[in-house]
Structure 1
Amino acid sequence: MGIFLNSAAPYSLYESEVKKPYFVDKSLMLEELFLPAETGNSHICITRPRRFGKTVMANMVSAFFSHGVDSTEIFSKLKIAESTGYKKHLNTHDVIRIDFSRMPRNCNSYDQYIERIERILIQDLMEAYPKADIQEEDAVWDSLDLVYERYGCQRFIFVFDEWDCIFHKDFITDEDKKKYISFLSSLLKDKAYVLLSYMTGILPIAKYSSGSELNMFAEYTMVSEEKFSDAFGFTEAEVDMLYARFLKNTGKPLLSRSGLKEWYDGYHAKGGERIYNPRSVVMALTNNNLGNYWTSSGPYDEIYYYIEKNVAGVRNDLALMVSGESVEAKVQEYAATSMELTTREEIFSAMVVYGFLSSEEGKVRIPNRELMERFDEMLQKEPSLGYVYRLARESKRMLEATLHGDTQVMEQILEYAHNTETPLLSYNHEIELSAIVNLVYLSARDQYRVEREDKAGKGYVDFIFYPIRESDDAIILELKVDHTPEEAIAQIKEKEYALRLKGKLAAKIHHTGRILAVGIGYDKGTKKHRCKVEKLKG
């Protein structure tokens, strides 16, 4: 066993995963690799956002195929044990497993980075295949050629994790990127010793392999290919299973199944399957708490990085997406590899690739509450977002004024919104009204679950603010164009929205606060807003 060649590390790491209380058996994914491993010279690249299980799966692939450690104890208990080809491939191959995110000590150049990889791999080969007569100064691919020729056509499975890691390093130049792509091509392309190369990362390879260097890879992304879609992230059925396990193991559950969906669902595979962020689900169940786990390591400015080159081009779309709407966008995932993100499509493509947005049927959206909180934070801290920033900053004052029935302040804030350069305030479409209401009540999300109720064309917009704490006031908000706020409140009463709210509140908390009806009327002729707040009877 070596550091890269038939290493014991992948086995130990995957064994630890299998023993964890919220492990999900995705071993059937290995079936998809049996045929490529039999035909030879096969190349697969799977890209997903970070924390979507890429490393766990890479360790699984290595532990299963490698004969470095007998992994029967693990896999005999998993689904793959029932598969045809299980015994044929279990621990019967030489596997070269490299985590490309590992850096040399004090690494500050590409040469340092790649020399470490070459040195370790050549040392492994020299120890395992002494008759190949490999020299330390030999190129890695020449060394592997020698092994192939002198050890009876010896072939390898290559498992590369985080293939694109160096593209995120400040010390990497454009010339370095070309050298790295050339390195991978020289190592893998048209090589007799390659049985299978299995590579994972965040960035698709298409951009950097614009020529023919890595065109032998079949790429599988979340957006473009259905194959492998259920192997990364958790499906609805898997989250159901994990939540049932959680209820069985937890004496006092503090989170609900619907909470997991609200916080961590929202991604879509090519085949239409809904996908949950796996790390966040596991952390929430482990801690018995809904929280921001996936994005906690990357603050709001990581999101802002992608939009800062063209704030004006995406500002209105952000306002709509923060209100829960989808916006049309042509997502081309290769654009995310460009460091010069200037067009709207490039920006949204990058955000899809990195998992900040989800894409479905030609539209992008903020996938869940975990990400929505980061977008909310950005909107309230980045002045360059213009009117979006200014309205978001007013949201705390708007909520306080509403709870205190201070309609004068409410009208002043709405007037301020209308008098800025707010292009969304045309009041021509329901979604534009939704965006503005969300912006001026953005801070309410700290205390409320804000839901927009569809009324099948019977009116404009209707929002219900469900309080998180039982003593806080609930709010039903109706916005009307060319009607008075009194008429808006009359509609709230007529449609008995309060009964619907009470039913949902009773199912979750013992609500002791008031239920406030809020009517907002806008007169197109005078371009004035009027507000009214009324306590609904019991």
Structure 2
Amino acid sequence: MAKVISIGKQSFSALREQDYFFVDKTNLIKEWWEKGDDITLIARPRRFGKTLNMSMLECFFSNKYANRADLFEGLSIWEEEKYRNLQGTYPVIFLSFASVKAGNPEDAKTQIKQEIVRLYEENRYLLQKDILSDNERKIYDGTTVTMGDAAAQNALKNMSAWMERYYGRKTIILLDEYDTPMQEAYVQGYWDEFTTFIRSLFNATFKTNPYLERAVMTGITRVSKESIFSDLNNLEVVTTTSEPYSDCFGFTETEVFTSLDEFGMSDKKDEVKQWYDGFTFGKHHDIYNPWSITNYLRKRELHPYWASTSSNSLAGKLIRTASADVKEKMEDLLQGKQITVNFDEQIVYNQLDHNENAIWSLLLASGYLRVEDVDYRGITREPWYNLSITNIETLSMFMNMFRGWFTSSDAKYGDFIKALVENDLDAMNYYMNKISMATFSYFDVGSGNKESVEPERFYHGFVLGLIAERAEDYEIRSNRESGFGRYDIMMIPKDIRKYPAIIIEFKVCGRMKKETMEDAVQSALKQIAEKNYDAELLSQGIPADRIRHYGFAFEGKKVLIGTEPAVCL
């Protein structure tokens, strides 16, 4: 009989004690211990079992779980006597930054201090033995949420020292979701101030801590060493492209198919593979997201379970405000193609706005893209990654993201698309202005007081919205060469008898030139004709009378759309 599936339970001991469905990942314990690294940072996408694995490490090594053989009996780690003797023999500090999500640096530091205070309360037994001096007892009792930053930064190092004195062994430290505060600091705009605090905390805990045996940190991203790990030379970083621990997070295909057999769903393997397979860690392909698989096993229906558990706000922000080149690559990805890009897997959050290639690093670390292969070029062996969208589930996440930018109760986006295809110019202007009022606040469309390239970033974001809405009927292209220039948008119909071809050019109304919106529309239409943007469509055999030209003029949130018959040179 198949075991009961408990959704979202992240406590290893609770899963084992209640005999819930569990996929054996105890090989992580052996692999990590035998590598002997001082500090290991493992980056994996969200919902890939990081917290459960950290809970497992705590239950295995912590002396609080001594004599708990029942938790590991029947699992692979228990087959070796060496590890049976190792279980429950170390003091362990286990904390998580998953809930550190604040709008300002002071609240973020307070939340970290609350996590530290929780640890101190759980370990008050240290005060019962005569191992702390009077001054140390004062430090212990002074560890409250109102303590100063310096006290908080040294608190984990102090706890390590007292645990070593109490147990006679150095301490193992497990820090889960280490990068959540950094992501929030970037999104909320207090990166520089907060990283000063977190850098000192990590330095005291992991660099200058003689009471530390080993440590593991988990998170989604590999935050750059220069940002928060300065002088931390004993850090082993494991990313999604690294080989170590490649099958320890997420389910392998063998594990998924075995589970489907166990639950009487052997005939569902092909559709499950199509929807949920595709993650690659190191050289290990065919990794599945555990959250989606466990939900599917329990609910027995295909659904984007993993993609639906996050707002994806950071990825969305970066794509929305990215350059035309990034958006072109996103179009290729959405059409099932691969892209080849070069980037540093380290995330420097305060440079995300300036280094566009960082978006690919973030999307890869988050699990939205997968590495097909890596090409190392030149004498410096710079990595060039061939990337694709991971699977149908992540494709749906992108589609919903783009659609969400252009969907609101006031926008009437579907009505605008209908008017565009039907060449109803009055309706197009009406609905596009409704969209602009409801949507343009999400984008940097410029003030209109100066010439700026920033509004172009919105227009190409708009293209992605079109892709999500009309991909079944049109091949959507943007900023590609045709004739003597590069058009903004081209919609190539898959059935020319049913739908027209469409070329759209955008113009920002320049107040410095005292240009009217009507002037800008005519300028856009003139450019389409003079640059012969029809050339690409004509070369595909599309008749000139099935090609429409539209000029879009923008001034702040105001929009004017004009059209004219195609003119071919």
Counterpart position of 1:274: 286
CA distance in 1, matches of 2:47, 2:11: 17
Please name the residue that 1:120 is paired with.
118
- Partner residue, 1:178: 196
1:122/1:143 contact within 8 Å kept? no
Residue 222 (structure 1) aligned with residue 240 (structure 2): yes
Among 263, 273, 291, which residue is 1:246 paired with? Answer: 263
Q: Give, as a single letter, the amino acid of the residue that structure 2 aligns with 1:158.
A: I
Q: 1:336 touches 1:347 (CA, 8 Å); kept in 2?
A: no
What is the CA distance between 1:523 and its match in structure 2? 5.0
Given candidates 415, 418, 423, the residue that maps to 2:501 is 415
Q: 1:188 aligns with which of 196, 206, 223?
A: 206
Say if 1:327 and 1:276 are closer, same or farther in 2 by CA, change over 3 A: same
Q: 1:264 aligns with which of 260, 276, 288?
A: 276
**Are the equivalent residues in 1 in contact too, given 2:318–2:359 (CA < 8 A)?**
yes
Partner of 1:31: 30
Provide the residue aligned with 2:92 in structure 1: 95
Cα–Cα, structure 1 residues 50 and 11, in superposed 2: closer, same or farther, change >3 Å? Answer: closer
Task: Tell me the distance in 1 between the aligned counterparts of 2:273 and 2:240.
Answer: 19
Aligned equivalent of 1:46: 42
Structure 2 residue corresponding to 1:364, chosen from 363, 383, 387: 387
The alpha-carbon deviation at position 90 of structure 1 amounts to 0.8
User: Which secondary structure state, in structure 2, belongs to the residue aligned with residue 157 of structure 1?
Assistant: strand
Q: Report 1:420-431 matches (<5 A).
A: 420=504
User: In the alignment, is residue 55 of structure 1 matched against residue 51 of structure 2?
Assistant: yes
Distance (Å, rounded) in 2 between the aligned partners of 1:237 and 1:529: 55
Alignment length (residue pairs): 406
Within 1, Cα distance between the matches of 2:279 and 2:107?
36
TM-score, with normalisation over the residues of structure 1? 0.67
For the 8 Å contact 1:332–1:346, the answer to whether it is kept is yes
Task: Read off the aligned partner of 2:69 and give its amino acid letter.
Answer: T
After superposition, the C-alpha distances for 1:136-177 in whole angstroms (9 at most, x for unaligned) are 436425634653675475311111111112123348542222
CA deviations on 1:373-426 (whole Å, 9 max, x unpaired) are: 122233445463244433543456779xxxxxxx9984463511xx2369xxxx
User: In 2 relative to 1, CA 147–333 (structure 1 residues): closer, same or farther, beyond 3 Å?
Assistant: same
Map of 2:413 onto structure 1 = none
> Could you tell me the percent identity over the aligned residues?
23
2:400 aligned with 1:377: yes
**Which amino acid in structure 2 is aligned with residue 111 of structure 1?**
K
SS of the residue aligned with 1:183?
helix
Structure 1 position 73 matched with structure 2 position 70: yes
- 184, 198, 204: which one pairs with 2:216? 198
**Counterparts of 1:161 and 1:149, CA distance in 2:** 22
The separation in 2 between residues aligned to 1:76 and 1:330, in whole angstroms, is 46
Separation (CA, whole Å) in 2 of partners of 1:408 and 1:355: 31
Whole-angstrom CA distance in 2 between matches of 1:143 and 1:168: 27
Tell me the amino acid that sits aligned with residue 257 of structure 2.
Answer: D
Cα distance in 1, alignment partners of residues 190 and 494 from structure 2: 56
5+ long unaligned stretches in structure 2? 1-9, 141-153, 374-384, 407-457, 476-492, 507-534, 547-569
Whole-Å separation in 2 of the counterparts to 1:186 and 1:14: 34
Q: Which string of whole-angstrom CA distances, capped at 9 and with x for unpartnered residues, describes residues 79-121 of structure 1? A: 1111352122111111111122245999961331232233333
Distance change >3 Å, CA 288–CA 167, structure 1 → 2: same
The answer as to 2:161 corresponding to 1:165 is: no
The CA deviation string for residues 37-76 of structure 1, in whole angstroms up to 9 with x for no partner, is xx6x811111101001101100110011112123211211
Q: Distance in 1 between the 2:197 and 2:336 partners?
A: 43
Query: Quick check: 364-373 or 146-155, which moved more?
Result: 146-155
Normalised TM-score (structure 2) = 0.64
Aligned equivalents of 2:474, 2:540: Cα separation in 1 = 24
Secondary structure at the aligned position of 1:98 is classed as strand
CA contact (8 A) 1:162 1:200 kept: yes
Contact 2:100–2:181 (Cα < 8 Å) also in 1: no
AA paired with 1:48?
R
Alignment correspondent of 1:389: 465
Question: CA deviation digits over 1:326-363, x for unaligned, max 9?
Answer: 10012422136446344441111111111121123221
CA distance in 1, matches of 2:401, 2:103: 33
Match of 2:19 in 1: 19
Following superposition, the deviation at residue 271 of structure 1 comes to 1.6
Q: Distance in 2 between matches of 1:49 and 1:372?
A: 16
Distance 1:86 1:529, change over 3 A: farther
Q: Distance in 1 between matches of 2:466 and 2:125?
A: 65
Q: Residues 335, 162 of structure 1: CA spacing in aligned structure 2 closer, same or farther, 3 A cutoff?
A: closer
Check 1:246–1:306 CA distance in 2 against 1; reply closer, same or farther (3 A cut): farther
Task: Give the C-alpha shift of residue 132 in structure 1.
Answer: 2.3
Which sits farther off after the overlay, 237-246 or 373-382?
373-382
Q: Which residue is equivalent to 2:150?
A: none
**Is contact 2:101-2:180 (8 Å) kept?**
no
Q: Structure 2: how far apart are the matches of 1:119 and 1:300?
A: 31
* Cα distance in 2, alignment partners of residues 135 and 267 from structure 1: 49
- Is the Cα contact below 8 Å between 1:125 and 1:143 reproduced in 2? no
1: CA distance between counterparts of 2:172 and 2:494?
Answer: 70
**Residues 530 and 324 of structure 1: is their aligned pair in 2 closer, same or farther, counting only changes over 3 Å?**
farther
Pick closer, same or farther for the CA change 1:213–1:182 going to 2, 3 Å. Answer: farther
SS at match of 1:96: strand
Residues 221, 147 of structure 1: CA spacing in aligned structure 2 closer, same or farther, 3 A cutoff?
Answer: same
Q: Per-residue CA shift, 1:279-298, capped at 9, x if unaligned?
A: 11111111101101011122
Residue matched to 1:434 = none
Distance 1:173 1:380, change over 3 A: closer
Verify the 8 A CA contact 2:191 2:350 in the aligned structure 1: no
- Distance in 2, matches of 1:147 and 1:242, equals 44
Q: Distance in 2 between matches of 1:105 and 1:209?
A: 19
Aligned counterparts, 1:339-358, within 5 A: 340-358=352-370
* Partner SS state of residue 237, structure 1: helix
